[in-house]
Amino acid sequence: MSEDSVILRLRRGEQEALEEVYTKYREGFVHWITNTHQCTRDEAIEVFQYSILTFYENVVEGTFEEMKSAGVKTYLYSIGKNKLLGDYRKSLKVTFSDQVETEEYSELETDTDQVQKEKIDRITAALQGLGDPCKRLLELFYFNNLSNDEIAEMMNYKNGNTVKNLKYKCLQRVKNALDGK
């Protein structure tokens, strides 16, 4: 099954071509995504089915040509990875204020607990005073556990190194605010 012939057959509406792609890549995709992204087999199958449908739609609409050099397998895997990461991001929407407000400080009866509470309050105030884009960047990195590259994509930065440098500068601003500078 050459990739060019599969694409042509899909464009002609041959159902067998889609079945061939499905059968050829399903198990490898499910194995890959469950191992690299720690999802269940059922989630992996659902993501694969979404990827197949998206792939098919893109072939029929002609937008697959843009990624043709990557090949069918790479294209399917990238669709699946992006779908899974997108779903994961949606499920982890957390903000600094939500995180701090929901924490219970009911056991602050000793002096050391009071000192701990004061530190948390100072850090919270420093983070709240940051403003965007620092606040958003740190939120995505520390609370949503996104990588520098993922943050760069979301916030439209050049690459992960740019995010890394900005993150360092933002942390310095937090440190200076805590030190009273």
Could you give the C-alpha distances from 67 to 2, 53, 62, in angstroms and in order? 16, 16, 10
If one compares 95 and 76, the residue with the highest pLDDT of the two is: 76
Asked if the model's pLDDT at residue 96 lies above 60, the reply is no
Sign of the CA dihedral running 162, 167, 172, 174: positive
For the stretch 114-128, pLDDT in tens is 777 777 778 777 777
Q: What is the pLDDT of residue 23?
A: 92
Confirm if 46 and 27 have CB atoms less than 8 A apart: no
Structure tokens at 89: 């991001």
Is pTM, for the whole model, over 0.85? no
Q: Which CATH class is domain 3-91?
A: mainly alpha
Whether the ω angle into residue 133 lies within 30 degrees of 0, i.e. cis, is yes
Local structure of 146: helix, strand or coil:
coil
Ordered by start, the domain boundaries in the chain are 3-91, 96-179
For the stretch 81-91, pLDDT in tens is 888 888 777 77
Q: Provide, rounded to the nearest whole percent, the portion of the chain with pLDDT above 90.
A: 10
Q: Which CATH class is domain 96-179?
A: mainly alpha
